[in-house]
Structures are given as C-alpha cells and as structure tokens.
C-alpha cells in the first residue's frame, strides 16, 4: 500500500484507464461493501457555474449555526486536502490515506476512477468524524456522477450552460437532463437561475421532486448596502453582501438560502448565522482580488457563461489604467467563446500554455485571439508564471492584471505568489 498522500494520489491516477468514466454501478458496489450510509442530511450541488460558491456559502452559514459540516468539492487548486473539509478544516494527510486504504481493501478487482475513489473517501471521512450535514459538489453532470450514489435531502442545480458537451450533450436541454439526475422523490430540488431549461421541470416532475426556481418560489432584491431574500419559508431582510465578489453572487447566495429553507426542519439556521456565514465565506479563485498594486484578479472562468460574468464584474469595478490578461486554458474548452466574452475589457494579452495533458499550447490560444479579432497586443509565454511575471513588470501601479481561463491558470498564479488555499 502507498504510505504518503502523494504516493496514494499517484496510485489513484493509474487505477482506471480513463480519467472520466461516467456510470454508478462500480462505485455503488464499493459503497455497498463499505456500508457508507450517512445518517445525516446530504446536500448535493450541481450546475455549470457557481457550484463552488454555493457550496462555500452553505458550508459557511451552517458552520456559523454551530453544525459540524462536511464539505466535498473539486477540483483543488494547490493541495488535494482542499477537496475534503470537516468543520471548515481541510482533512489531514493521515486521515485521507487511512480512508484510501479502507477503500482499496474493499474494492477488490473493481476499477475506480480518481474522482470515484475520492468521493468514497470523503464520505468515509465524514461518517468517521460524525458530521451533522454533508455538502457534496458534483464533479461532472449529475445523473452519472459519483456523488449521485448518495441520496440528496436537497438537490441544487445552480444553472445550465454549454460545457463538457462531449460527455453531457450538445444542447442545454440535454445537459439539463444530466444535471437534474440528482433530484429525488419527495425532496426539494432548487434551481438557481431564472433561465430554466424545460428538462429541469420535466425531470423534477418525473422524479417526484418538489422544484423551487429562482424568480418563482424564491428570489432576492439588492439594495445599495444590503439585500433581501424571500422564500416559501419566509423572508430574510437586511442581509450583508457575500464576501465573495461579483454581482452574480446574489443568485448563488439566494440559491444557498433556498436550500437551507428546504432543510430548516432538520437544520434550522438563525439570521445571525446567515449574516455571519455570508460575511465570513471565502473561496479562492472566484473573482478573487489580491492585495497590493498593481491589482491582480484571479478567476477560474473556463466557459463562456463564466467569462461573461467575469467581464461584467470587471466592467463594474472602478476605472483602472490598462488591463493585462494572463490567459491559459484547456484545449477541450470553448477557447473562442471565453476569449470573445472579454472583448472590450482587455488591453494586452499574456497568453500561456498549461503543463497538463489537456492543456492548450500558447500558440494555439494566440491563434484563437487573432481569429476572434481581439484588441490589444498578444504575447506568448511557455507557462503561466512567466506570463504573470511579464504582466507584473509591464503594469503600472494603477493598472490591473486578470488571470483566468482554468483552475490550472489560477493555481499556477497562486503558486508563483506563494499563496495557499485554506
């Protein structure tokens, strides 16, 4: 058996011939052997964008209410431990290794992917530590994602847009069908976007879930300094804006509050806990502004919808000098759609390659920018650290640098700046 977390992760990467292998039969078999049957409420959060923000807000508000919260998210930025948190603390190497060993002994000859192994390990840790509620973020889709071997007491879909089309389908309706696969009969399903594909309603009806939709069963109104939430369980007035930046975070905060409303009989949360949770929530790489000058903004935006939200957030900021983009993406993403969403917001592009099997070469990204007729100078660099160094040297004090396009992009910037996550 591997003896360190690094050795375990290397081993897990070699276990299954495919990085992504959708389907629940294998992982459900191992779950059955391990008897991983949570006695606590489970919230499953899916959607194209905003999953991480909703998970972080739920974790923060429930923690502020005094609950022992387990939170499983992906991907990580710097350390694998970021994926598994208990009482807002990252799981230690030793306990992750112990969980991996338990699963390895139980699986026998059943092949598991890296994500499936990690999902089982997270739940094993949560049960071992006696959490009172678990928040599970969907890795890909929903219906065939490993977290869906557990029944959601409340299922959340933040919204649906075009991403992962090779796996989920080439229309919003097909993607919505996959994401709605986490709905359960007799349980609330929260949809966090007014623009709802018909497949969400169809699957809620077919599964017997009770659908709550933003703009209908719940909603929000934002003021200059505070905002109000309304839902089927009542209203919450004069709420502070979430510590996570960006106008779209009120959608995410309202969606999180709707999920809390759905579970209020099991997990009551006071107004004070809601306020504290919103103020204290933290999540790296989601329109994260680093201290200092020139201003550096980190955003994991890697699909057109997320890039449009990034562009809106940049436009809403106080006027700056020049905007430098440190831009790197995976080649199986919509590079043109992401770049095009930033039209008019970037004055100079520092394009970098990503050192990963799916990473796009810098020259390929530069060609995309040229084809999209993006304004501004385009410079090509081997890696993100070099692109960031150039941008920092070229930028004046009142300029800003925005690093985006992938979790890898943000992680490389954080490493180069000596930053940790958590």
Per-residue confidence (pLDDT) for residue 356, from 0 to 100: 87
Q: Which of 254, 280, 306 is at the close of a domain?
A: 280
Residue 246: pLDDT band (50, 70, 90) is confident
Q: Tell me: do 318 and 368 sit in the same domain.
A: yes
pLDDT digits (tens, 9 = 90+) for 152-170: 999 999 999 877 667 677 7
Per-residue confidence (pLDDT) for residue 18, from 0 to 100: 61
How large is the average pLDDT for residues 67-82?
97
On whether the pTM is more than 0.75, the answer is yes
Q: What is the CATH number of the domain that holds 396?
A: 3.90.190.20
- 385 belongs to a structural domain: yes
Write down the number of H helices and E strands in the chain. Answer: 15, 17
Per-residue confidence (pLDDT) for residue 20, from 0 to 100: 59
Strands 377-381 and 348-352, bridge-based pairing: parallel
Residue 224: pLDDT band (50, 70, 90) is confident
Q: Tell me: do 95 and 125 sit in the same domain.
A: yes
Q: Tell me: do 214 and 292 sit in the same domain.
A: no
Distance CA 383, CA 385 (A): 6
Report DSSP letters for 266-334, one per residue.
TS---HHHHHHHHHH---TTSSEEESSSSEEEEE---SHHHHHHHHHHHHHSPP-S-EEEEE--BTTS-
Q: Which of 280, 315, 350 is at the close of a domain?
A: 280
Per-residue confidence (pLDDT) for residue 422, from 0 to 100: 73
Range of the domain at 387: 288-416
pLDDT at 317 over 60: yes
pLDDT at 247 over 90: no
Q: Tell me: do 150 and 297 sit in the same domain.
A: no
How large is the average pLDDT for residues 62-68?
98
Alpha-carbon distances, residue 42 vs 201, 221, 252, 253, 281 (angstroms): 22, 28, 18, 18, 20
pLDDT digits (tens, 9 = 90+) for 104-131: 999 999 999 999 999 999 999 999 999 9
Q: Tell me: do 108 and 191 sit in the same domain.
A: yes
pLDDT digits (tens, 9 = 90+) for 1-39: 899 999 999 999 888 656 556 679 999 999 999 999 999
Q: Tell me: do 179 and 241 sit in the same domain.
A: yes
Per-residue confidence (pLDDT) for residue 70, from 0 to 100: 98
Query: Rg (Cα) of the chain, in Å, rounded?
Result: 21
Distance CA 335, CA 330 (A): 8
The rounded percent of the chain whose pLDDT value lies above 90 is 89
pLDDT digits (tens, 9 = 90+) for 349-396: 999 999 888 899 999 999 999 999 999 999 999 999 999 999 999 999
The total domain count for the chain is 2
Q: Tell me: do 269 and 309 sit in the same domain.
A: no
Distance CA 232, CA 228 (A): 14
CA-wise closest residue to 419 among 268, 251, 271, 291:
291
Residue 116: helix, strand or coil by DSSP?
helix
How large is the average pLDDT for residues 311-336?
93
Residue 54: pLDDT band (50, 70, 90) is very high
Q: Tell me: do 251 and 195 sit in the same domain.
A: yes
Distance CA 348, CA 324 (A): 5
Cβ atoms of 228 and 241 within 8 Å: the answer is: no
């Amino acid at each position: 058996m591997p003896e360190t977390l690094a050795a375990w992760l290397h081993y897990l990467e070699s276990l299954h011939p495919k990085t992504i292998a959708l389907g629940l039969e294998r992982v459900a078999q191992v779950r059955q052997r391990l008897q991983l049957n949570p006695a606590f409420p489970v919230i499953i959060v899916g959607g194209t964008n905003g999953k991480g923000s909703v998970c972080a807000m739920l974790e923060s508000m429930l923690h502020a209410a005094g609950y022992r919260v387990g939170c499983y998210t992906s991907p990580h930025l710097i350390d694998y431990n970021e994926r598994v948190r208990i009482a807002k603390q990252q799981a230690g190497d030793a306990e992750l290794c112990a969980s991996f060993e338990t699963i390895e002994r139980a699986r026998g000859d059943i092949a598991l992917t890296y994500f499936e192994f990690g999902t089982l390990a997270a739940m094993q840790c949560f049960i071992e530590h006696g959490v009172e509620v678990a928040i599970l973020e969907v890795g890909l889709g929903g219906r065939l994602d490993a977290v869906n071997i557990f029944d959601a007491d409340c299922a959340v879909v933040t919204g649906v847009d075009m991403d992962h089309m090779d796996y989920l389908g080439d229309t919003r309706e097909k993607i919505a069908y996959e994401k709605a696969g986490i709905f359960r009969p007799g349980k609330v399903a929260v949809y966090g976007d007014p623009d709802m594909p018909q497949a969400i309603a169809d699957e809620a009806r077919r599964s017997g879930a009770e659908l709550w939709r933003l703009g209908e069963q719940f909603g929000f109104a934002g003021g200059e300094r505070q905002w109000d939430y309304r839902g089927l369980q009542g209203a919450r007035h004069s709420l502070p804006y979430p510590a996570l930046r960006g106008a779209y975070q009120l959608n995410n905060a309202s969606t999180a509050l709707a999920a809390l409303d759905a579970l209020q009989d099991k997990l009551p949360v006071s107004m004070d806990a809601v306020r504290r949770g919103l103020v204290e929530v933290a999540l790296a790489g989601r329109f994260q502004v680093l201290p200092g000058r020139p201003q550096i903004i980190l955003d994991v935006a890697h699909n057109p919808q997320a890039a449009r939200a990034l562009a809106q957030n940049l436009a809403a900021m106080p006027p700056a000098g020049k905007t430098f983009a440190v831009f790197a993406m995976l080649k199986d993403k919509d590079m043109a759609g992401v770049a095009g969403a930033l039209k008019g917001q970037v004055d100079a592009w520092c394009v970098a390659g990503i050192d990963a099997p799916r990473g796009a070469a810098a020259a390929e990204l530069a060609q995309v920018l040229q084809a999209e007729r993006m304004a501004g100078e385009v410079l090509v660099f081997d890696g993100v650290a070099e692109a960031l160094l150039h941008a920092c040297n070229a930028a004046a004090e009142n300029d800003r640098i925005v690093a985006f396009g992938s979790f890898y992009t943000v992680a490389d910037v954080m490493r180069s700046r000596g930053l940790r996550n958590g």
